[in-house]
Structure 1
């Protein structure tokens, strides 16, 4: 069966290290669209952090979709209609926020409206995330977080501090949440149902596709769920070595327009 749905991660995959879309990637995506292939951005970023890329790649037309928050939100990009929305409870927030204080790491929670932190001394990686995804930062005490629709929470800190904290997270948290390390300084907590993989399964069902007609392209551990469910998993040359073990194909690096190479080699031929 030919591939009809291609999910593409952003950082380390779709864009170069200086956050650009190469001419080769742009044209390959347009060629795929012209042949009826649905190209879907699948990212840990919130929707505000992908709007410019959707515009640049012409992925805001009728029937286009985007997967954000690592699968916590799936939307029709033309209408904004929510296809999938997974959120966390206030009790989830209190438990993870308390754990972050106990482990002495910075933490923030993300909604569609912005980034919320109870850290009076706001961590530099919270500021980095705000800049990266174009979202405002709000200081709120834990008591002020009631009623917020939290899609994911993140422990963020220097890699050595975060790694030390990760080793001390009780097993009950791993049992209750989907926890992924998306960068050396980001550890993300989501509901157990939230993953890029589950989001792609929902989209494939909505589109009437068999999973053999799906492809995912990624580079990091938060891409693993989608790489494991699609029929054609593609890992970037710059990807995590462990991920390459589950890849059907290895494409070029993000600096070498690896997404364009994957589309032309295994989708457009």
Structure 2
């Protein structure tokens, strides 16, 4: 695609926009400001909870639109909810019944801006360290509201993430299963993914998804890259992602994505 036809860019967060210490580099911040000044639609599409995505967006000077929860929660300017797609209640009940006491996983429920867990364990503490705030504890999820996403966290370095993802795909046709990391299993309503979120965000600004570039690094970014007009994969991403990319860049710690976007939009920042 001719880069001159691109009118926006969507960025995944962890492993893409964010460095390994979960910060945004000074050069990337400069580029984001330049894109906004040029009238380029800059948006964030992440599996993170809304509160975390909103905080990062504000830090970049973005009021919206952006998407959280792997595309199940899409927000416009002024916190206007553009789309909210809860999981079917019957599916949530089945998943909690099957995995609620499974020691292989820590269950996390996301309902709008709320993050709910049954207990604070080491896996949940690791997520707290990443996103910067703590969840609400509700033993047994007794009073849960409508839930947009369930995150199952397994132990790093084990095969449980792949094994449980396979179990889930065979278990319930009403849910979509994706992994943002090998040990992070993201469960949303069927047909909900980052590609759909990109189309909704683009349409909210009178654009099509094909007028957007997009960058990501995880299995859950495959729909995002398939939907956009110029797909960019991080070099550490899985082969399934790199195979569909127009461009593969380096690490999220080396500003190679900053350089690529700067060239793509004619705004290469100075070193």
Q: Secondary structure at the match of 1:11?
A: coil
Pair 263,45 (structure 1): closer, same or farther in 2 beyond 3 Å: same
| Corresponding pairs, count | 261
* Alignment equivalent of 1:20, drawn from 20, 23, 28: 23
Cα distance in 2 for partners of 1:163, 1:221 equals: 12
- What is the deviation of 1:7? 0.5
Find the counterpart in structure 2 of residue 72 from structure 1. 72
- What is the deviation of 1:141? 4.2
Q: Secondary structure at the match of 1:10?
A: coil
Find the counterpart in structure 2 of residue 127 from structure 1. 125
RMSD between aligned residues = 2.1
Pair 48,102 (structure 1): closer, same or farther in 2 beyond 3 Å: closer
Cα distance in 1 for partners of 2:123, 2:11 equals: 24
- What is the deviation of 1:238? 2.3
Pair 142,68 (structure 1): closer, same or farther in 2 beyond 3 Å: same
Find the counterpart in structure 2 of residue 203 from structure 1. 201
Cα distance in 2 for partners of 1:219, 1:143 equals: 32
* Alignment equivalent of 1:9, drawn from 7, 12, 36: 12
Establish whether residue 37 from structure 1 lines up as the match of residue 37 from structure 2: no
Find the counterpart in structure 2 of residue 253 from structure 1. 251
- What is the deviation of 1:59? 1.0
Q: Superposed, which structure 2 residues align to 1:38-187 within 5 Å?
A: 38-60=41-63, 64-77=64-77, 79-101=78-100, 104=103, 105-118=105-118, 122-142=120-140, 144-146=142-144, 148-159=145-156, 160=158, 161-169=160-168, 171-173=170-172, 175-187=173-185
Structure 1 contact 103–165 (Cα < 8 Å) conserved: no
- What is the deviation of 1:219? 0.6
Deviations 1:219-264 (A, max 9, x none): 1111111101111111112222221100011123211113312211
Pair 92,29 (structure 1): closer, same or farther in 2 beyond 3 Å: same
User: Given the two structures, how large is their TM-score scaled by the length of structure 1?
Assistant: 0.88
Cα distance in 2 for partners of 1:135, 1:106 equals: 17
Pair 108,52 (structure 1): closer, same or farther in 2 beyond 3 Å: closer
Structure 2 contact 50–113 (Cα < 8 Å) conserved: no
Structure 1 moving runs of 4+ over 6 Å: none
Structure 1 contact 40–66 (Cα < 8 Å) conserved: yes
User: Given the two structures, how large is their TM-score scaled by the length of structure 2?
Assistant: 0.88
Cα distance in 2 for partners of 1:113, 1:267 equals: 33
Pair 123,94 (structure 1): closer, same or farther in 2 beyond 3 Å: farther
Can you give the 5+ residue segments of structure 2 that lack an aligned partner in the other structure? none
Cα distance in 2 for partners of 1:141, 1:33 equals: 44
Can you give the 5+ residue segments of structure 1 that lack an aligned partner in the other structure? none
Establish whether residue 193 from structure 1 lines up as the match of residue 196 from structure 2: no
Cα distance in 2 for partners of 1:249, 1:51 equals: 28
